[in-house]
Chains A and B, each alone.
Chain A
């Protein structure tokens, strides 16, 4: 199964890259932006046919390596 996960910075963690992207967008004329937060996206092809088990495996990966839970949250967004 292919499992997609996104990792985002927690709300109160400063995201300097997001800020610079926001400023650049502003300079390009995109004036209606309140905030930009940058994150990471993973597509993991797991040798497991049960979607629930596949999700568990990727959640375990997020807990142990892909995300740093001090500053980041993760979310499984798709399993196919």
Chain B
């Protein structure tokens, strides 16, 4: 299985993602933001970081970069595109998933482990996972998901919420919401569920001795789903 990770100026989780994808069997290729063409890929990842220094709005400049034209085309033709953290911000700015990511409610940069609950497994990312609650790492200043009431209705009607912030038992209450996001939303799909944007970093949870292995479960399952 082939994957591509896009490096924007200011991306800083691109190499972690490269290591994670290769560890679980992908043949990953790094792609520079100024390239025109995507290599043939089964999965394209927009990594975390601070693309273009977060100028104007997080992800806004990166969403207009050259390679994004190809990424948008790939996504619209049904290709799997996953955006993590800043990658999620780039996805909302490019219009591939609905909504926006605002500054965290309490104006803090949040860097900690959180629990997230997978709501819907009827998609190529979470299909066949045998648990619902995962421990992932978050590190962001703008993860406060927001959308209009009309968008929210559409998102909920189409089961587009990918993951919710919760506690270790999967309770999705407001007190387990780290950043003020609407309805505890931590990740969103597009309508067809081939595009996934999420704030948590599964690539930081792939080694038992360093962190945890919930990311390993995610990536192992993902590559099996794509095969």
Which residues of A line the B interface, CB within 8 A? 13-14, 16-17, 20, 65-66, 68, 70-71
Contact = CB atoms under 8 A, between A and B. Distances in A.
A14 B145 CA distance: 11
A68 B60 contact: yes
A70 B106 contact: no
A70 B154 CA distance: 15
22 contacts: A14-B105, A14-B146, A14-B180, A16-B103, A16-B104, A16-B107, A17-B103, A17-B107, A20-B107, A65-B56, A65-B60, A68-B57, A68-B60, A68-B93, A68-B100, A70-B100, A70-B146, A70-B148, A70-B151, A71-B100, A71-B102, A71-B146
A65 B60 CA distance: 7
Interface in B43-70: 56-57, 60, 64
B99 interface: yes
B64 A65 contact: yes
B60 A13 contact: no
A14 B102 contact: yes
Contacts of B105: 14, 16
Contacts of B146: 13-14, 70-71
What are the 3 closest A-B residue pairs judged by CB atoms, nearest first?
A70-B100, A16-B107, A71-B100
Given A70-B100, A70-B146, A71-B146, 16 more contacts: A14-B102, A14-B144, A14-B180, A16-B103, A16-B104, A17-B103, A17-B107, A20-B107, A65-B56, A65-B64, A66-B56, A68-B60, A68-B93, A68-B100, A70-B99, A70-B148
B72 interface: no
A6 to B, nearest CB: 14
Most buried by A among B57, B60, B105: B57
A66 B151 CA distance: 21
Nearest to B104: A16
A9 B80 CA distance: 32
Contacts of A16: 103-107, 180
A13 B57 CA distance: 15
Contacts of A13: 102, 146
A14 B180 CA distance: 10
Contacts of B56: 65-66
Interface in B119-151: 144, 146-148, 151
A14 B107 CA distance: 12
Interface in B97-113: 99-100, 102-107
Contacts of B144: 14
Nearest to B148: A70
Contacts of B64: 65
Nearest to B149: A12
Interface in B159-184: 180
B209 to A, nearest CB: 38
